[in-house]
Structure 1
């Protein structure tokens, strides 16, 4: 029996005929919610600076390296997913993340910490594209907007969980900040276990059966995959550039408002670590709410218009985010800003999936997302450097003016995202799940739909029509 809200959103026929894909999609959304527990550095900047005897600017180098190398992971794991299937590349990806998180908690030198976080960036880079493509292609069109918003806020849920652990566990254990990374490792491993017990995506099961029946070998399929990739790039190079510009703006928006936020509250507003963490939790509650609401709204008013509305909300709430000095007002500002930032972000998984070349739904969005991350990787260092040069006073003490720095950065980036979104494409409610995969001949073309798609649909429709008629008669009786 499906939950009541699903029966309202998804037609009965979809629930009966797509039980297995729905299981894969909902399970993937769940694991992403738990698996995005990767924000330990942002929450531990001051602790890490004390541990390694380094400045805030030096510690943010770890964030920069992680973001720089995520594009490498996006390419490697995205290609593996579009070529071989969704399941095992994602499992391997999550296990690698767990190993690197574990290693982050054992390092004793600054150079070793940077090395582990660099490798962590490669592993982390593949997760988003693989998870988004797996979840969205296995869900009916009617709920993809909502699923996009919920899935994207896995990051916010992970950040929230990390903040709670940082608030209650870290101060109580002798290993301090290391416990945060070790907990993240366990949660990522748990996410891998969830994906392990779920089946492969239905689209790849169908494609592999078809290729096996046609007598295609692994060598043949790899050759076809390389050819179709070249064809896709020839046709969509402008879309590649646009997607990177869009994701550069979005990543500056999220990292610029999050990575140095706890440090900003502590150093510029005089908050205790406890209060800064609580404010971060409140902000992430706003992020979760904004992402889910925006994703759902986008199903009705469109992807681009939803993004525009939520980016305008960001601009409206910047003063509340940086001007006050009280805990209540700044926490309200954090909630509202993250409601806008992650609301706009909640539309991104489905927006990228719908406008991407259909056969490359893991590689294309994942690489665009992570190249945008690479370009915006220095956002925390930009803010740290700005704070070094733009100063203010707090209780008679000279401190970095992170409030002004972050306000300027987010204002400029929000304007950039607004312009790029207005002039960008939209392919609302695209049926990309009916497209050939990248290792099938012709998969690189946008019109390469599955030839025999109508046959099983017709057979199911006849059976369902009788069943629906009986249900209708029973209800009337």
Structure 2
């Protein structure tokens, strides 16, 4: 309800003392993680690495794709835009499948489909074929984040989820880092050239699918489904029930849904605006070789990995929103170092600091979205919010390429005539600065359910939930309300079936 959302605005940025996690508690929580829980976490992390590797294969190949298809950068980036546009469709499809049928097989199918289109990307011969395959790949790619985050986080102890969230999210930076290393070392040495980068990405996705296939289903998901079967819900028209309860969720949480989309729009502009054309920015505006641009990209991703891990850990103590704000402020502070220098060392340092801030803020997002999600939609809600934000920000690469092409910069004088190049530095600096301010504002006015216990959904769904000795927290009351709404939905659909 709107009142639930507005109430959460006044809970403060720093978590209450009883929710704080000291180092001993955190270490005890990490030690309590079972082998299966570790398997789920690392599987989700690997899936997210594959997602990133596949996506950034295009960003790292822009120069080679220009030569292959004889197109300018602004046209080549259409492939990036289409991939991001279609990701929201994939998030809806695979998120719904995961919330209904489990975390395991929908993710396996998702990864295999992504591998097929990634493999196809390396065999195309014309630019329209490339755009078509990348669009279809966007659908497959869209489902992975929601499924990977729910698989990795929902079964972990509450006290470890902040650190785990940061480390999970930096699978994205690790995937970009691996792709950059491959592009730097293997691609120039192979006869297949840029195509080999896509073929390797397909192989990694198949490996991730195989790992998920041998792991069991999520324990939390199985418990929720067991409760439904115990209550006799297997005889109900499940499709009608799911659609009805989705509608009820949207009516109850519409402000939360709108807020999540706005927040993820800002975050995706921040990420894609600082990453997608960074190698092109260094080679075009700064005049570096493709080798040096790739090395700088690797350095930036090292900063991203460090930032995300530190921010995830810090959010467990300082709260989710305050941590996000702190790291976005770091982004704003280092924009000058990112765009003004001309030497490799200074620009690489700027890339490290910018990505430390960008991916540090991003490191809190998986657990922030999972904690604020309505319990019955923990795979659908984060994934769809994230990918709709991706859809809105999908044109970021084209905005930068078009803006840089129109905002020329003089580099040298050749035969008395100024040599003009696309000015990516100014365009990216303005875009990232504006978006950083927007993200800070959205974070300040947003909710925070720090320490939300996902497993309370099961207890709330059972009739005996009221026997818990502890007084419920705000988010536990919300979980109970969502469970009651779900039960009401099932009763209403059953009554309609009986009337018919």
TM-score, normalised to structure 2, is 0.85
The Cα RMSD (Å) is: 2.4
Residue 356 (structure 1) aligned to one of 365, 373, 387: 373
2:347 corresponding residue in structure 1: 330
1:82-161 correspondence to structure 2 within 5 Å:
82-161=99-178
Offset of residue 19 of structure 1: 5.0
1:188 corresponding residue in structure 2: 205
1:160-239 correspondence to structure 2 within 5 Å:
160-217=177-234, 219-239=236-256
Distance in 2 between residues matched to 1:133 and 1:248, nearest whole Å: 20
Instruction: Please state whether the residue corresponding to 1:447 is helix, strand or coil.
Output: helix
The answer to whether 1:293 aligns with 2:310 is yes
The answer to whether 1:414 aligns with 2:436 is yes
Unaligned 5+ runs, structure 2: 1-22, 414-418, 466-475, 485-500
Distance in 2 between residues matched to 1:14 and 1:157, nearest whole Å: 25
Distance in 1 between residues matched to 2:352 and 2:343, nearest whole Å: 14
Offset of residue 220 of structure 1: 3.6
Offset of residue 21 of structure 1: 3.5
Offset of residue 435 of structure 1: 0.9
Residue 23 (structure 1) aligned to one of 36, 39, 43: 39
The answer to whether 1:434 aligns with 2:448 is no
The answer to whether 1:446 aligns with 2:479 is yes
Offset of residue 324 of structure 1: 0.5
Task: Please tell me whether the aligned partners of residues 351 and 426 of structure 1 are also in contact (alpha carbons under 8 angstroms).
Answer: yes
Q: How far does the alpha carbon of each residue in 1:260-297 deviate from its partner, in whole angstroms, 9 at most, with x for none?
A: 10000000000000000000000000000000000000
Residue 359 (structure 2) aligned to one of 342, 354, 374: 342
Offset of residue 392 of structure 1: 0.6
Instruction: Please state whether the residue corresponding to 1:278 is helix, strand or coil.
Output: helix
TM-score, normalised to structure 1, is 0.89
Offset of residue 14 of structure 1: 7.6
Task: Please tell me whether the aligned partners of residues 220 and 455 of structure 2 are also in contact (alpha carbons under 8 angstroms).
Answer: yes
Task: Please tell me whether the aligned partners of residues 435 and 448 of structure 1 are also in contact (alpha carbons under 8 angstroms).
Answer: no
Q: How far does the alpha carbon of each residue in 1:295-353 deviate from its partner, in whole angstroms, 9 at most, with x for none?
A: 00000000000000000000000000000011111000000000000000000001111
Distance in 1 between residues matched to 2:93 and 2:63, nearest whole Å: 33
Distance in 1 between residues matched to 2:461 and 2:99, nearest whole Å: 8
Distance in 2 between residues matched to 1:449 and 1:7, nearest whole Å: 34
Offset of residue 395 of structure 1: 2.9
2:69 corresponding residue in structure 1: 52
Q: How far does the alpha carbon of each residue in 1:174-216 deviate from its partner, in whole angstroms, 9 at most, with x for none?
A: 1110011001111111111111111100012223333334443
1:373-388 correspondence to structure 2 within 5 Å:
373-388=390-405
Instruction: Please state whether the residue corresponding to 1:425 is helix, strand or coil.
Output: coil
Unaligned 5+ runs, structure 1: 1-5, 452-477
Offset of residue 225 of structure 1: 2.0
How many residue pairs get matched? Answer: 445
